[in-house]
Structure 1
Amino acid sequence: MGRDAELDAVLRAQDGIATVAQAVSCGFSVRTVRRRIAEGRWRSPHPGVLLGGGHRYGTAARCRGTWLWAGHEAVLSGAAAAWWHRMLDVPPMTVDVTVPRPVTRGARPGTRVRRRDLAPVDRAFVRGVGVTARPLTALEAAAALDDGAAFLDRALQRWVTFDAVYEAWCRMAGARGAPAVRALLVAAGDRAASTAERRLVRLLRDARISGWVLGHPFGAFTLDLAFPAERVAIEFDGWAWHSDVERFRRDRRKSNELVTAGWIVLRVTWHELQTAPARVVAQVRHALERRRLPR
């Protein structure tokens, strides 16, 4: 196999990206590499990194190229790691990379470098690239995204457990962004007598909606918030809370028994309370009005 064919195989396996060292190992001299870049046959998005001719510099190439430039001790982090883990569909505008404290990397366009020592459990190797492990990725991406609460909810539903995410947060305590991450984590894990409850109570009071009771008993269950006279129940929903299978089943049994007994059950998430409070209030009003209509 000739040197061009050998390098082409590397490029196809690496999203069109290779390092100068890989090109040299395929038989190219550094002088030849520089000449081909100067001729426009190859591009160099980062020092020591090549984009082969005919290959698109898409998101995968940007992420892999940034990681190769940062070094094998580095990891993709934040939204870039979430995208690489396939936890996030939207490509990151900026590729975040975390390097060990002794490593120095200068600023690069479209790249953000963070110096921080990570525990081995917070590191992973996915499709040939170093990334933060999923629990830490879920936290850091949630803190960086505009819709972080919804992202963390999805992550807890599909990819990580609440315990694993909490342990990752304990290891990052004191790091930059940790307070914002803590607020999201508390919201995700909250339930009755929680931040979510207090938020809903404030919304109901501001809307002058009365007649509700917290912790209303219903058979063997306790309702988060209820309007007993109208038989309308509001249950706080969160993926973190439902990560326990038995708890999930118990909540479903509760909902089924309420509906069978003629109650209207509204399920409210922290994300809805934060991003669509007017809609939550409107749903509560509608449910109460339905029950107050003459039959």
Structure 2
Amino acid sequence: MLPGIYSADQPTTFARCYAVTLWQPNALLSHRTAAWLYGWMDEHSMIEATLPAASKARTPFWLRMYRRDLPASDTTEVVQLPVVARERTLIDCIAVMTPEAVARIVDERLATDIDAQVIASKIRSTPRRRGNSRASSQLRSAASGFASEPERVLDRALIACGLRIATNHWVGNYVCDFVDELARVVVEVDGREFHSAPEVFSKDRRRQNDLVLDGWLVLRFSAFDVMANPEKTARQIAGVVRRRRRARN
């Protein structure tokens, strides 16, 4: 596997991670490997790890090493393996993954266990580090408050159109997927259960009638259409919201 490290069987991803830390005691598992250990993504074919900047080591085809010096605050352990801490791992993933691939990870992490302000602080503390510009861009375009994957994707598309509106927001007695109070527009993304369960359909009709009678414009989109063309859906919503904002001012 590695100099002085052997395996009788085909090594698993976890075994390779462990082998790296035996071979290089100063190594920290990082980037997509750390993200996999945190449960953020499926395992990646390449093991990625970080060594101190002065380290020199030749690596096999399945191992990619990054050389840099990290403070103790950027290190932790996962299942007794040394790993780059969550916040720095998120920035690292943004640096090496395509924006489309990393967007879901960014949105989910900022919605659950990582503080966007901590990420911003780390970016400021290392102004010339690779990935900072892309990380800042991801922070600006991150979806928030979503309850489903179609909602997350649509929120991203709306932000790309320059429109930030409230997500999963109360309007009277109802929590609506997207709400713009100035334009009095509600946007609902209908999942499969909307079309398959009669009681869900009837409840949503009553809900929509209540909102319309209270002066709200309700726009409905299927989850299928949102996922098929989120940019088109976002442009339609943005156009309606902006026209109604102007008309109401």
Q: One-letter code of the match for 1:153?
A: D
Cα-to-partner distance string for 1:145-180 (whole Å, 9 max, x where unaligned): 331122100111222122222233233431122222
SS in 1 for 2:83: strand
Residue 74 of structure 1 corresponds to 27
Residue 116 of structure 2 corresponds to 162
Residue 48 of structure 1 corresponds to 4
SS in 2 for 1:168: helix
CA 1:164–1:285 in 2, change beyond 3 Å: closer, same or farther? closer
Identity across the alignment (%) = 22
Residue 138 of structure 2 is aligned to residue 184 of structure 1: yes
SS in 2 for 1:130: strand
Matches within 5 A, 1:1-295: 45-51=1-7, 53=8, 55-69=9-23, 71-88=24-41, 90-146=42-98, 147-188=101-142, 199-201=160-162, 228=183, 231-233=184-186, 261=214, 262-264=216-218, 276-281=230-235
Give the whole-Å Cα distance in 2 for the aligned partners of 1:120 and 1:259.
56
- CA-CA distance at 1:78 after TM superposition: 0.6
Residue 167 of structure 2 corresponds to none
SS in 2 for 1:114: strand
Contact 2:76 2:85 in 1 (8 A): yes
Give the whole-Å Cα distance in 1 for the aligned partners of 2:124 and 2:143.
15
Give the whole-Å Cα distance in 1 for the aligned partners of 2:72 and 2:37.
19
CA 1:56–1:171 in 2, change beyond 3 Å: closer, same or farther? farther
Cα-to-partner distance string for 1:122-147 (whole Å, 9 max, x where unaligned): 01112121110011112212332331
Specify the structure having the higher radius of gyration (Cα).
1
Give the whole-Å Cα distance in 2 for the aligned partners of 1:139 and 1:116.
14
SS in 1 for 2:118: helix
Cα-to-partner distance string for 1:92-146 (whole Å, 9 max, x where unaligned): 1221111111211223212111111101110111212111001111221233233
CA 1:141–1:264 in 2, change beyond 3 Å: closer, same or farther? same
Q: One-letter code of the match for 2:6?
A: L
User: Structure 2 unaligned runs (5+)?
Assistant: 145-155, 164-170, 173-177, 189-209, 242-249
CA 1:59–1:286 in 2, change beyond 3 Å: closer, same or farther? farther
Cα-to-partner distance string for 1:178-229 (whole Å, 9 max, x where unaligned): 2222221232389xxxx97673259xxxxxxxxxxxxxxx99xxx985784x
Normalised to the residue count of structure 1, the TM-score between the two structures is 0.53
Contact 1:142 1:151 in 2 (8 A): no
CA 1:73–1:266 in 2, change beyond 3 Å: closer, same or farther? farther
SS in 2 for 1:125: strand
Contact 1:100 1:117 in 2 (8 A): yes
Give the whole-Å Cα distance in 1 for the aligned partners of 2:158 and 2:108.
21
Structure with larger RCO (C-alpha < 8 A, sep 6+): 2
SS in 2 for 1:98: strand
Q: One-letter code of the match for 2:104?
A: A
Q: One-letter code of the match for 2:26?
A: E
Q: One-letter code of the match for 2:86?
A: R
Contact 2:107 2:143 in 1 (8 A): no
When the two structures are aligned, how many residues end up with a matched partner? 190
Residue 293 of structure 1 corresponds to none
User: Structure 1 unaligned runs (5+)?
Assistant: 1-44, 203-217, 236-256, 288-295
Residue 5 of structure 1 corresponds to none
CA 1:110–1:265 in 2, change beyond 3 Å: closer, same or farther? same
Give the whole-Å Cα distance in 1 for the aligned partners of 2:62 and 2:213.
55
Contact 2:94 2:134 in 1 (8 A): no
Q: One-letter code of the match for 1:91?
A: E
